[in-house]
């Protein structure tokens, strides 16, 4: 019997051509299912959900605990089909950025744009104690304190909780061990999204400005860390506009030669 090939990217069939495709990287402990459902709200675009080891149908696989190993595996296994956009929320935003940087450094086709949500720029990340060593109940309690309620089955089913928390602990280990390496800024546009009531400092979101020589936008929505679940209409309207804009013909970009001026165009709404 032949072993099944791990599916790194999940997507739903399309009947019409897409304006652009978007690869989505999950937050800590997140699964691809949520992003697959986004396709119903972004009908003009091909939404592709990245499925990491230790998630979904790959639950039995050993998850990554270090950023470099994860990014190397992503680039080695995912054929990012140009033109495309990378989206990431929280931990996923850091993974999306590091993936774009590594693709650039390897001379491979990079994204037309980055859409980064719910986390500060690497150099501005707040220092928080690692939660990866907390036991199950303590970890759930801390997650709920920081990010809001978790699904009831995580409290009610110890076996399910153990399985899902394994991937979450690995993600938290990536965050606590992440040490960004100084690098030239990217040249693709960067859009940063966040919730006005999130604990993530807004200055940290604005700090992404220096990571590109291209266009930069910051948009804050009502809500907390998972603002897009609270106000989906405003979120999907804006995200659809960003994706359509990224697919528009543009002046060829040149390789960046220095840091961009630390000036952002912030839009609150």
CATH no. for residue 52?
A: 3.40.50.1820
Q: Is residue 1 part of a domain?
A: no
Judged against a pLDDT cut of 90, whether residue 23 lies above it is answered with: yes
Q: Is residue 154 part of a domain?
A: yes
User: What is the bridge-based pairing of β-strands 84-89 and 266-268?
Assistant: unpaired
Q: What is the pLDDT of residue 130?
A: 66
Beta bridge partners of 266: 218
Q: Is residue 3 part of a domain?
A: no
Q: Is residue 2 part of a domain?
A: no
Q: What is the mean pLDDT of residues 21-25?
A: 97
Q: What is the pLDDT of residue 258?
A: 36
Task: Identify the top-confidence range among 2-6, 143-147, 195-199, 249-253.
Answer: 195-199
Q: Is residue 27 part of a domain?
A: yes
Q: What is the pLDDT of residue 63?
A: 92
Query: How many structural domains is the chain composed of?
Result: 1
Q: Is residue 72 part of a domain?
A: yes
**216-258 residue pLDDT tens:** 999 999 999 999 999 999 999 999 999 999 987 544 444 433 3
The rounded radius of gyration (Å) of the Cα atoms in the chain is: 18
Active site residues: 90, 225
Q: What is the pLDDT of residue 104?
A: 97
Q: Is residue 162 part of a domain?
A: yes
- The boundaries of the domain holding residue 260 are 9-268
**90-143 residue pLDDT tens:** 999 999 999 999 999 999 999 999 999 999 999 999 876 666 566 767 777 777
Q: Is residue 125 part of a domain?
A: yes
């Amino acid at each position: 019997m032949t072993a099944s090939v791990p599916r790194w990217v999940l997507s739903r069939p399309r009947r019409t051509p897409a304006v652009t495709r978007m690869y989505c990287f999950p937050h800590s402990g997140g699964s691809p299912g949520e992003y697959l459902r986004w396709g119903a709200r972004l009908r003009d675009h091909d939404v592709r959900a990245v499925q990491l080891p230790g998630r979904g149908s790959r639950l039995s696989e050993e998850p990554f605990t270090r950023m470099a190993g994860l990014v190397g595996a992503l680039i080695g296994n995912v054929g990012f089909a140009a033109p495309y956009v990378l989206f990431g929320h929280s931990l996923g935003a850091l993974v999306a950025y590091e993936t774009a940087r590594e693709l650039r450094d390897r001379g491979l086709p990079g994204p037309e744009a980055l859409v980064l949500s719910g986390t500060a720029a690497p150099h501005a990340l707040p220092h928080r104690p690692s939660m990866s060593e907390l036991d199950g109940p303590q970890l759930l309690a801390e997650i709920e304190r920081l990010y809001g309620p978790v699904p009831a089955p995580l409290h009610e089913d110890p076996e399910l909780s153990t399985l899902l928390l394994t991937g979450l602990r690995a993600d938290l280990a990536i965050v606590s061990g992440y040490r960004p390496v100084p690098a030239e800024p990217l040249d693709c546009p960067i859009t940063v999204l966040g919730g006005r009531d999130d604990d993530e400092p807004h200055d940290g979101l604005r700090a992404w400005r220096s990571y590109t020589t291209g266009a930069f936008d910051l948009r804050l929505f009502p809500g907390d860390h998972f603002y897009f679940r609270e106000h989906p209409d405003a979120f999907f309207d804006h995200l659809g506009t960003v994706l359509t804009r990224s697919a528009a013909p543009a002046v060829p970009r040149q390789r960046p030669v220095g840091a961009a001026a630390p000036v952002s165009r912030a839009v609150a709404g």
